[in-house]
Structure 1
Amino acid sequence: MNLFNIIKNEQKYWLVDQVKRDSVVKGEYKDQLEQLLPEWKQENVDYLSLVIDESFHNWLVSKGFHQVSTTVEYKRKLSALPEINNEIRWHSLSEGWIGDADYGNLYDRCSSGSANKSSQAKDQFLLSLESELGVEWRNHCFYFTKNEALIGICIPHIEMGTENEGRLFYFGVVPEWRKKGIGTEIHKIALRLLHQLEATYYIGSTDISNVHMAQIFKQNGCVLHDRKGQYRIAQTP
């Protein structure tokens, strides 16, 4: 039984996310991680990032992990979705109106000053899109405009190992459009885009300190679902 979703980015990093199952005891999760760690070390990948229930904290520290942050997850069924703001327009990167480099620059603007602690450098972000979303990654990359101004981006997809769990690989608003209700409006559109991908429910996560993003979740009908720790271990020199 697969108890973790794993995204591998060549020699740079592994992203490992716990799949919580009611029938599985803690020892089984530990056993799978015990098998995974030697493989990660042997392949000499820079670091491994792990998202898992914080009840594993002491055991993980004993294995060389350190806690980076705590994330909270919110959940919503993708039915009876809220009305969207008709003044906001959106396009996918695959439409060709802007290029990959422009999208990377827009991501840079959205991540600047953000409370999201998991933001990547622009070049790493662009490289990770194909490896984590597949060859059609541009179909998932959306950007938003209002009065012809670029205001934000979102990247909806179906979670690995599921058929109908909607996630946002990234969601952000440019600094000059923050605190104007734009994040809530873009998030409403993102929920509709997930529904178009045939997701039946949505899981959104953010750092526990990102009160503004948590408020967006609540305003759009999401309820607190789970809390996990984000841990990291790096190769020793």
Structure 2
Amino acid sequence: MNLYNRIKKQNEYWLVDQVKVGGVSKQEYEEAFDRLLGEWKEEKVGYLSLLMDTVHEKNLLEQGFRKISTIVEYTRKLDETFSPAPGISVEPLSDGGMVDSDFAELYERCRSGSANKNKLFTIEQVMESLENELGPEWRASCFIFRKSGEPVGLSIPIIEQGTVDEGRLFYFGIVPEWRGKGYGTVFHRLSLNLLKGIGAATYVGSTDEVNHHMIGIFERNGCRLRDRKGIYRIDR
């Protein structure tokens, strides 16, 4: 039984996310995590970043983890298709309308000023992780939102690892000068269409509990609160 999803980069990091499974006890989760932590220590990896239910927090802090923040998860069924937004175009990076270096610059602008506290990577590491985690065709998963031809946001819809039809956004963001104008809700709604288009039946989105703007977007687009998890980190 898989109780933790893992993304690894050799010698640098493990990103670990607890998988909620019905009928599994707190003790079983902690025993499974102890085995996972032992593997991480044996491999001498730089750090481990963990998303886990806060009921385990005392145990984690005793093992040397520090708490970074708390995230909230929202979800909804993808049982409708939203209308296109007038004046907004959605362009896959794979179409060739933007080179990778310009996409990296757009990505960096979108994540600047974020309320999310868990900032792990430089933009160079982010771009490297896209190919490592999404595969050689990663550009087909990256979409640029344009207003009057100007790139103003981006979205990267994916199917969650280990699932058949759970949709996630690897990243979603808007450039600072277009925030606070209602476009976040519009772009998120269009992202839900993109997820449905790749076969997702449900959507799960997460953000820092202090990111009230993103939480408002979730709620305006029909998402409901599903879970809270702590973000914890340990370094070698």
Question: What TM-score do the two structures reach when normalised by structure 2?
Answer: 0.97
Q: In the alignment, which residue of structure 2 is the partner of 1:30?
A: 30
CA RMSD of aligned residues (A): 1.0
Q: Kindly state the Cα deviation for residue 117 of structure 1 after the two structures are TM-superposed.
A: 2.3
Q: In the alignment, which residue of structure 2 is the partner of 1:211?
A: 212
Is contact 1:49–1:232 with CA below 8 Å preserved after alignment? yes
- Determine if the alignment matches structure 1 residue 9 to structure 2 residue 23: no
Q: In the alignment, which residue of structure 1 is the partner of 2:195?
A: 194
Q: In the alignment, which residue of structure 1 is the partner of 2:46?
A: 46
Q: Secondary structure at the match of 1:36?
A: helix
Paired letter, 1:129 = L
Distance 1:83 1:225 in 2: 26
Q: Kindly state the Cα deviation for residue 59 of structure 1 after the two structures are TM-superposed.
A: 0.4
Q: In the alignment, which residue of structure 1 is the partner of 2:134?
A: 133
Q: Kindly state the Cα deviation for residue 82 of structure 1 after the two structures are TM-superposed.
A: 3.4
Paired letter, 1:10 = Q
- Unmatched tracts of structure 2, length 5 or more: none
Paired letter, 2:74 = Y
State the aligned residue count: 235
Q: Kindly state the Cα deviation for residue 71 of structure 1 after the two structures are TM-superposed.
A: 0.2
Q: In the alignment, which residue of structure 1 is the partner of 2:110?
A: 110
Is contact 1:84–1:185 with CA below 8 Å preserved after alignment? no
Q: Kindly state the Cα deviation for residue 214 of structure 1 after the two structures are TM-superposed.
A: 0.2
Q: Secondary structure at the match of 2:229?
A: strand
Q: Secondary structure at the match of 1:110?
A: helix
Distance 1:73 1:202 in 2: 10
Distance 1:128 1:9 in 2: 9
- Determine if the alignment matches structure 1 residue 90 to structure 2 residue 90: yes
1:140-196 Cα distance to aligned partner (Å, 9 max, x none): 111110011110111100000000000001110000100001111110110000001
Distance 1:200 1:117 in 2: 29
Which deviates the most, 170-179 or 26-35? 26-35
Distance 2:57 2:183 in 1: 37
- Determine if the alignment matches structure 1 residue 166 to structure 2 residue 167: yes
Which deviates the most, 215-224 or 124-133? 124-133
Distance 2:136 2:118 in 1: 23
Q: Secondary structure at the match of 2:90?
A: strand
1:122-145 Cα distance to aligned partner (Å, 9 max, x none): 101001111111222111111110
Which deviates the most, 190-199 or 43-52? 43-52
- Unmatched tracts of structure 1, length 5 or more: none
Question: What TM-score do the two structures reach when normalised by structure 1?
Answer: 0.96
Paired letter, 1:12 = E
Distance 1:92 1:116 in 2: 26
Q: Secondary structure at the match of 1:38?
A: helix
Which deviates the most, 30-39 or 144-153? 30-39
Distance 2:212 2:84 in 1: 23
Q: Kindly state the Cα deviation for residue 29 of structure 1 after the two structures are TM-superposed.
A: 1.1
Q: Secondary structure at the match of 1:198?
A: coil
Q: Secondary structure at the match of 2:189?
A: helix
Distance 2:25 2:108 in 1: 41
After superposition, the Cα gap between the structure-2 partners of 1:81 and 1:118, relative to the gap in structure 1 and judged at 3 Å, is farther
